[in-house]
Amino acid sequence: MANEDFLIGANDEHGVNPPTVGKRTPVVPGLNRQIYENEFNRAAKNKFIEACMRQDFSVYDVKPELQDISISERVRRINSQNLSLLVTFAYNAYGEDFNSTSGVEVYYSPLNPKATESRNLANNLYAELIQGTSQTGRGVKTLDVGVLSNVNCTSSLIEAGFMTNLREARLMINPLFQTEVGEEACHGVCNFLGVRYIPRDNLNNYPVIRNGSRGNFVYLVQFILNQYGYNLSVDGIFGSRTENAVRSFQQNNSLSVDGIVGNNTWRTLLTLPPYPLLREGSRGAYVKFLQQLLESNLYPVGGIDGIFGTRTLNAVRAFQQANGLTVDGLVGNNTWNALTNLNFST
């Protein structure tokens, strides 16, 4: 069975602005705002989709909308697709204030018509999440909710942390953690299906693609470009619109503007290391990545816009001061190393 014959469902719980308690953090000190659960759920789901595209799986996004969609509607969508399996991304809560409860859990439902397969999938997801993330393991558990029990496919749900734990609340908006959860979930899916997992961070795994190319890596480029604000049809066909978007991305990131996706463009699309030296006036994907890291370290930048302006400069300087670094506002190796440490304390 070819990888493309597997249809993987990806689902994120809740919407961008849920009104109920338990779907957002308490007010986060430093940021002076609440973090909504879906800020993590959607980002982790998208990283999972990217990883699945890289494996050449076919992917179905259950909830592409930003707003919440009812469970009954999501179940209807899922059951209309003949999915090979479904993975749902969520984040836990315990109480209404920050406390010490923490860790990752993975759920399945014994009421699912493929309960044994669902349990096996949950075990595979959990094993990779425990190995690949810094989270404490809380085990594989059962839960009877619609996206687990009322669907006609193998189904598991990841609760990647507790938004009522300050450290794990910060992880919710950390792009490295979002990526890691998505990747480890895909790795668990590969283990469950018995196929080889292709890692994210090795550029040798990414072919050069250009106008006329087709296939899973074109899907991947189109999907990533859309997350940077381009409005492409994710159809796996590298035509003129995709080439124009690639050229625009290259221009905005100070890359050679040739419309060809080679190593440098792949690295920047994925914000892989080595990270570039950034300073006031820099722009592009790495600046957006920097801003996300600063926010997760509780240094607000006034908006994740990919522009290294005064607010970002002040946040960098404050971070450097607090971490014993040279306070020059330049983001070089030492500052990157400190920013990308996921083991920050509360």
User: pLDDT band at 341, cuts 50/70/90?
Assistant: confident
Residue range 208-228, pLDDT digits in tens: 999 999 999 999 999 999 999
Q: Which CATH number does 285-339 carry?
A: 1.10.101.10
| Average pLDDT for the chain | 96
| Residue 10, pLDDT score | 98
SS3 141: strand
Confidence band of 7 (pLDDT split at 50, 70, 90): very high
331 in helix, strand or coil? strand
Say yes or no to pLDDT of 68 above 80.
yes
Structure tokens at 302: 């006034």
Q: Comparing 3-193 with 285-339, is the CATH topology the same? A: no
| pLDDT at 91 > cutoff 60 | yes
- Under DSSP, is residue 322 helix (H, G, I), strand (E, B) or coil? helix
The mean pLDDT of 138-147, rounded to a whole number, is 97
Domain ranges of the chain: 3-193, 203-270, 285-339
Confidence category of residue 1, pLDDT binned at 50, 70, 90: confident
CATH for the 203-270 domain, from 3.30.70.260, 3.30.950.10, 3.10.290.10, 1.10.101.10: 1.10.101.10
pLDDT of residue 20: 67
Average pLDDT over residues 163-186: 97
Q: Can you give the pLDDT at residue 345?
A: 47
Q: Residue 1: which residues within 8 A CB-CB, separation 6 or more?
A: none
Confidence category of residue 134, pLDDT binned at 50, 70, 90: confident
> What gap in Å lies between CA 191 and CA 186, rounded to an integer?
9
Q: Please give the average per-residue pLDDT across 144-153, as a whole number.
A: 97
For residue 88, list its beta bridge partners: 11, 157
Three-state SS at 165? coil
Identify the H or E element spanning 126: helix 115-132
User: Got the DSSP string for 206-261?
Assistant: S--B-TT-BSHHHHHHHHHHHHTT-----SSB--HHHHHHHHHHHHHTT---SS-B
- Cβ burial 104-123 (10 Å sphere, 16+ → b, else e): bbbbbbeebebbebbbbbbb
User: For residue range 232-286, what is the model confidence (pLDDT) as tens digits?
Assistant: 999 999 999 999 999 999 999 999 999 999 999 999 999 999 999 999 999 999 9
Residue 122, token pair as written in the block = 């949950």
Query: Which two three-digit tokens encode residue 1?
Result: 């069975």
Question: What is the structure's pLDDT at 342?
Answer: 75
Is the per-residue pLDDT at 344 higher than 60? no
Q: Domain 3-193: give its CATH code.
A: 3.40.630.40
Mean pLDDT computed over 305-310: 98
The per-residue pLDDT for 15 is 83
